[in-house]
Amino acid sequence: MMRNPFVAALIPAVVFVLLALPILGIDLLNESLMLKIQAAPAADWMMIIIAAVAIFFIQLFRKPIDAGVTTFKEAVPSLNLKSYLVQPKVMRLLTIFLILALFLWPFLYESRSGLDISIKVLIYIMLGLGLNVVVGLAGLLDLGYVGFYAVGAYTYGLLNYYFGFSFWMALPIAGGMAALAGFLLGFPVLRLRGDYLAIVTLGFGEIIRILLNNLTSITGGPNGITGIDRPTLFGLEFNRKLRDGGWDTFHGFFGIEYDPIYRMIFIYLLALILVLLCIYVINRLQRMPIGRAWEALREDEIACRSLGMSRTMIKLSAFTIGATTAGFAGSFFAAYQGTISPESFVFIESAIILAIVVLGGMGSQVGVILAAIVLTVLPEVAREFSQFRMLMFGGLMVLMMIWRPQGFMPMTRPHIQLNSDKIQKETAQ
């Protein structure tokens, strides 16, 4: 429908003003017990007006601007940067360089807050990778993923609190417990699909959280568990003073000054190794027959069954592997925080992890990593605009749906070549 360009430009500007006025143009003041509504300072109003005018003019001259962008793009000589970057050799070099950089940067640039965010990002990457197997590859919508994360965290927390298990002893147990939980949940929900599966898994996540909240005698209820031991390096502790019965402290052993940053760096490196391990293992699985079976199941369940594949096994394996990853992430989270409480495992966490998978591009590991970084770093960076954080979050989602509905990096499926002779023959022609 062709409209008058002036009207077409006016509408977005007016809509913007209508939306912006109540959000930005009005301040709420707490005056004793009353809430007072007040007009925002004139500067804010000026900004709104400027923005509205800008929107109007951009919309009005959209055609020439678009044309300009296109000619600009064409004018810039194509550097073929992309085709150069995706060469396997270059890719491998870049990856190695990137991993080295990730390992080395904390030693060159000691930043507590930087490490803090990095560890958080790494935990979310781990969770995203695990959920990616369930949702992205096998196509089973799981809204209670945080439940497995909680199982992992509490397994370590409780084992440490009651039996003094160290992080390293508890890590495999936590993975195993989460896997067991995934397996047990998998059985009853196998027949379900889509929305129904989502609801049941949502319930499962809530059951875990409510259970942890109410088993006060064991889990400490809402107060959670505190004083969980931090991970050690072959028994070396990263505390200022040695605990009773401990072997030695890190700084004591190496004869250096105590600095709390060592622990942060150690935990960061640990997280990095865990994430790299997850990436490697899941990547392998994806290329193995089981990985293809997951995808086939997502594509067509009936066809899968007609080929003699057992949907029970395929779904259970996806669920279990996803849960195991969350279990590892959970026990790591407990070790990093030192305290855990049911509050860390609320539904919004599941939603964020799911957002990471969807935003990254279902099934794509690189996409999941990128999305985990964006969704974790963005709220930190946007801390200054704390009031508008959710607004920015929502805006990002809307923009994504418009420009990249498939996610940052839609999955390119690993290509399996069995008949290499034939391919060579073809390329030779």
CA-angle at 263, arms to 151 and 379, nearest 5° = 65
Q: Smallest distance from the beta carbon of 115 to another protein, in angstroms?
A: 40
For position 418 contacting another protein by CB under 8 A, the verdict is: yes
* Nearest partner of 359 among 367, 347, 351, 348, judged by Cα: 367
Choice between 157 and 291, CB closer to another protein? 291
Please give the residues from 293 up to 352 whose contact with another protein meets the rule CB under 8 A.
293, 295-296, 299-300, 302-313
Q: Smallest distance from the beta carbon of 290 to another protein, in angstroms?
A: 10
Size of the site for another protein (CB under 8 A): 24
Q: Smallest distance from the beta carbon of 338 to another protein, in angstroms?
A: 45
**Structure-token pair, residue 357:** 């998978």
Choice between 218 and 423, CB closer to another protein? 423
Q: Smallest distance from the beta carbon of 348 to another protein, in angstroms?
A: 32
Q: Determine the interface stretch with another protein among 30-38, 110-118, 152-160, 418-426 (rule: CB under 8 A).
A: 418-426
> What residue type is 397 in one-letter code?
M
Q: Smallest distance from the beta carbon of 78 to another protein, in angstroms?
A: 26
End-to-end CA distance of the chain: 49
For position 413 contacting another protein by CB under 8 A, the verdict is: yes
Q: Determine the interface stretch with another protein among 66-74, 217-225, 286-294, 367-375 (rule: CB under 8 A).
A: 286-294
Tell which one of 30, 387, 419, 429 touches another protein (CB under 8 A). 419
For position 420 contacting another protein by CB under 8 A, the verdict is: no
Choice between 32 and 419, CB closer to another protein? 419
Integer-rounded Cα Rg, in Å, for the chain is 26
Per-residue b or e along 288-325, where b marks 16 or more CB atoms closer than 10 Å to that residue's CB: eebbebbbbbbeebeebeeeebeeeebbbbbbbbbbbb
Question: Do 242 and 252 touch, CB atoms closer than 8 A?
Answer: yes
Q: Determine the interface stretch with another protein among 31-39, 104-112, 331-339, 413-421 (rule: CB under 8 A).
A: 413-421
Query: C-alpha distances in angstroms, 329 versus 65, 123, 214?
Result: 47, 6, 23
Indicate the SS3 state at residue 67: helix
Please give the residues from 222 up to 261 whose contact with another protein meets the rule CB under 8 A.
none
For position 427 contacting another protein by CB under 8 A, the verdict is: no
* Nearest partner of 342 among 217, 229, 227, 205, judged by Cα: 205
Place of tokens 């990249």: 404
For position 289 contacting another protein by CB under 8 A, the verdict is: yes
For residue 388, the surrounding DSSP H or E stretch is none
Q: Is 169 exposed, middle or buried (0-12, 13-18, 19+ CB in 10 A)?
A: middle
Q: Which long-range contacts (CB under 8 A, 24 or more apart) does 33-37 make?
A: none
For position 38 contacting another protein by CB under 8 A, the verdict is: no
Binding site for another protein (CB under 8 A): 289, 292-293, 295-296, 299-300, 302-313, 413, 416, 418-419, 422
